[in-house]
Structure 1
């Protein structure tokens, strides 16, 4: 990516906040990038990407931050809809006939994007090798049964979101979604070497090494085992450092997540907001549709209340009140990236310690809010 330099008080304030988090031991390594109306305000890093070698985090370090990448998958779909290849209300089976099995013929692209498709789970005997096998996993999803009548309830499609939309993209274009991402999104934005679904093995030396927060496994073990989330896939597929550090997982197209730097995913949101001259990804009208409330209510898989646009979560995670204009995606471990149509802000926090909170992100948001209020 072309180097940009962020200067000013907000850069210094965010840098100091990151340094404090690393010095306190709360974080190992992290990045923050903030754009406003296309201008890079913050490009800050702190800590180490690999504790074993002491390799520091740089702005170009790539992090596997799990579901933060669902926004890139959704963006690909919006670009293809903009191109007229299909519509939001196109039945998935119109593009992918096998998907119609077991009563799924009416499921639409819109319902996949807003997590109401009713196909949130993978078989409980699915292995890590299986999720790296595109043909196998898509055949398995196509043959799966509905959990509810499509469009009548919402539940987070943790893995299936990416595979269904990825196969839609493949059927519509004849190309793997990773190729479409590079050609239609990351290439034009100049970040093809910092935002991937499947990351080439030769590039893995640039990745941050993930680590689990102490006590995270114990917290998971204490959760009631009859929760629907434990029926949506085996525990071996839950996002952990050991899963996210595997070479095969990092190299595979798993578009329920992505491998990205903060500045790459923030730049994508800046482009969606229309702030980057010459790099508009979708029209303002499409952005309004994609970021309007599409479905909200109790999540049938994870139990929380959620509000979805088309592929984007609306509002900030953990905030008591939904903030109008904010659309984004959180990642397991506390990473987050979002755009704000009200302020023109595009912001991303990526990190390699998988915490159970979003404290780092909320600290950055508070500093960004102060900058916006100050004009």
Structure 2
């Protein structure tokens, strides 16, 4: 088993043990865990390998692509714009992005877009990586597209397109690309290692992600279950056609590519340390020297259930629940309490905040699993016990 490095306050030693146990039988795994309580970093752990190809170790400064945890961070930024009166969840997205109203999408609200109800979970026009790297190309395609279902009538997970929706909301309101807005309003003030778009020359501390057999098997099973001649929209939501592999990474593909990490993918491409990601969530519920917690009234609106139950495209239960971009506590993703809100990410990443407990957590890993992956779940279970829940 890999050695675990870092610190954990005595009260949180059972959480450290659960983190250490996650490495058992996973010699190619690297991971990190951070927990903030009452604004203080009480767990700061890491271990394993950042790149199994070279056996380079995961260090205190190693970051990794956190995949859909990115959606939660974008949703925090948008909640701040709502708090500032620059945006409202109920306003039509077309009010700030007129082109998006094409083909019957004029009534799609900001809240609909964030809660996977906009009907554009995948592209009708398949694209390659070059197109996916171009912001203008992707936002124009989404704006001009006919929805896959009647917007607002149900939800379907917008695996990657969610990022251009949330990112364009931020760009239209602030006049800045979401990566710059993130740096200036959240990551920078907090001193957090949390980035959207990392220049190639600064990618030296980013871990190399690897798909475990469980994830590869899941992809194969999904491909076998699809019907020839019929669009597999959930699959297309992950690949955009042929821009990304279904598992999002390959030895030199997907989000292991320097150009993909350098681009802005607000649906899946943020790069962070566990420490930086947990700090961002903590700032939503706890005042810091540079930021104030999110207004409780806005937080209540942001975490109201907007989507739940069976999705438009059939998927096995348990199903998630969504607020305004936030993944809420459900059978699909348990937090410490029913009030937790956050977002998980492909392969095992989990990050969230607990307003009633003044607690946040981030677990990140480059060893991407699927199916019965219980690494983060076991850590959260121990954290729940520590907090007396």
Find the aligned partners of 1:149 and 1:322 in 2 and give their Cα distance: 35
1:89 is aligned to 90
Find the aligned partners of 1:351 and 1:320 in 2 and give their Cα distance: 18
Shift of 1:7: 4.0
Question: 5+ residue gaps in structure 2?
Answer: 1-5
Find the partner of 1:326 among 333, 340, 350.
340
Q: 1:313 to 1:171 in 2, by over 3 A?
A: same
Find the aligned partners of 1:319 and 1:98 in 2 and give their Cα distance: 35
Higher helix share: 1
Q: 1:133 to 1:365 in 2, by over 3 A?
A: same
Q: 1:335 to 1:319 in 2, by over 3 A?
A: closer
1:186 is aligned to 187
Q: Which aligned runs of 4 or more in structure 1 are off by greater than 4 angstroms?
A: 319-323
> In 2, are the aligned partners of 1:88 and 1:109 still within 8 Å (CA)?
yes
1:241 is aligned to 249
Task: State the number of aligned residues.
Answer: 368
Find the partner of 1:353 among 367, 379, 385.
367
- Summarize deviations over 1:216-237 as a string: whole Å, max 9, x none: 3233122211454135443653
Shift of 1:302: 5.8
1:266 is aligned to 278
- Summarize deviations over 1:89-118 as a string: whole Å, max 9, x none: 221111112111112111111111111112
1:217 is aligned to 216
> In 1, are the aligned partners of 2:126 and 2:242 still within 8 Å (CA)?
no
Q: 1:321 to 1:266 in 2, by over 3 A?
A: closer
Shift of 1:10: 4.5
Shift of 1:26: 6.4
> In 1, are the aligned partners of 2:347 and 2:368 still within 8 Å (CA)?
yes
> In 2, are the aligned partners of 1:198 and 1:250 still within 8 Å (CA)?
yes
Q: 1:173 to 1:275 in 2, by over 3 A?
A: closer
Q: TM-score w.r.t. structure 1 length?
A: 0.91
1:126 is aligned to 127
Shift of 1:133: 0.7
Q: 1:271 to 1:220 in 2, by over 3 A?
A: same
Find the aligned partners of 1:59 and 1:302 in 2 and give their Cα distance: 41
Question: 5+ residue gaps in structure 1?
Answer: none
